[in-house]
Amino acid sequence: MSRIAYVNGRYLPAREASVNVEDRGYQFADGVYEVCEVRDGKLVDAPRHLARLQRSLGELRITQPMPMPALEFVMRETVRRNRVNYGLVYLQITRGVARRDHAFPLQKIAPSVVVTAKNLSYEKNQESARKGIAVITTPENRWPRVDIKSVSLLPNVLAKQAAREAGAYEAWFVDKEGFVTEGSSSNAWIVTADGRVITRKADNYILSGITRAVLMNVLEALQLRLEERAFTAAEACGAAEAFVTSASQIVMPVVKIDGHVIGAGKPGSVSTRLREEFHRFAHLS
């Protein structure tokens, strides 16, 4: 079965789907995106993802291409046409097509919309969660507005590649003060020996993860203590547990940071429980 992509109003076989060479997303990374998990063919937490998308568009003054319910419909339709049962749906909106010039085009242009969806292996993801992942740390070198989910991801790409080359799965950015900001494509968390669950507060220096937000509801329901504060890489290395959250990984236990073994060197009980409970609190549509 050929994969289907939605491009500016049309559902096309992926090999025929293309964007203009003067699309500002291609030229300047002048665009935003969202990624939703797909479970049982349904979108996980779509309303929260779309609310964040709306905020990202607003921060960059990119025109909203269509009402949010219409965008959600396109996402669901792309999932359906690709027969995705478990996987991800990707939505990208760029400022549009114009003759190359850094400043915004003078005339009004239509934003470009692309939606793709793919199946993932549930078993492979579960297997990673059973084993836990290794992370490395890397100096923070992104702009101070990473709260906007922009497609400008070069530092994230390089950090992830450094992790791969070091035999790790994720890279945690560390700011000048020595505090972990977040992962290259995930939020970072630790658990203390007395069971406090810690993650950095959502300011301009991290992406306010939707998985992070839902997990906070889970923590509350399970009466686990949350501390929203920064932690250093050294504190993380000495923590009882560590994990990352993202739409594609949900709660993924971390068992090694820069080669230091975390806790007992296997996924901890809090991380494992949070992963198991997560979807009871997630919204499906």
* 92 touches ligand PLP (CB under 6 A): no
Name the residue among 111, 173, 118, 101 with its Cα closest to residue 140. Answer: 173
User: What is the C-alpha to C-alpha distance for residues 252 and 244, in angstroms, rounded to an integer?
Assistant: 5
Residue 80 is which amino acid? R
Q: Which is nearer to ligand PLP, 8 or 248 (CB)?
A: 248
Q: Where does the chain show beta strands of DSSP type E?
A: 4-7, 10-13, 31-39, 42-43, 87-94, 112-119, 133-139, 170-174, 180-183, 187-191, 197-199, 226-228, 241-246, 250-257, 260-261
Q: Residue from 211, 242, 256, 267 that binds ligand PLP (CB under 6 A)?
A: 211
Q: How far is C-alpha 189 from the chain's CA centre?
A: 14
Residue 266 bears catalytic tag:
no
Question: Which of 82, 112, 185, 272: binder of ligand PLP (CB under 6 A)?
Answer: 185
Q: Is 117 in the site for ligand PLP (CB under 6 A)?
A: no
151 binds ligand PLP (CB under 6 A): no
Q: Which stretch binds ligand PLP (CB under 6 A): 71-79, 96-104, 209-217, 225-233?
A: 209-217
Catalytic residue among 118, 124, 131, 149: 149
Which of 209, 253, 263, 268 touches ligand PLP (CB under 6 A)?
Answer: 209
What mask, x for binding ligand PLP by CB under 6 A, covers residues 189 to 208?
------------------x-
CB of 146 to ligand PLP, least distance (A): 6
To the nearest whole angstrom, how small is the minimum distance from the Cβ of residue 95 to ligand PLP?
Answer: 20
Q: Which is nearer to ligand PLP, 62 or 215 (CB)?
A: 215
For 269, the 3-state DSSP assignment is helix
Q: Rounded to an integer, what distance in angstroms lies between the CA atom of residue 102 and that of residue 81?
A: 36
User: What letter represents residue 131's amino acid?
Assistant: K
Residue 240 φ/ψ, nearest 5 degrees: -75, -40
Site for ligand PLP, rule CB under 6 A: 35, 156, 182, 185-187, 207, 209-212, 245-247
The catalytic site residues sit at 149
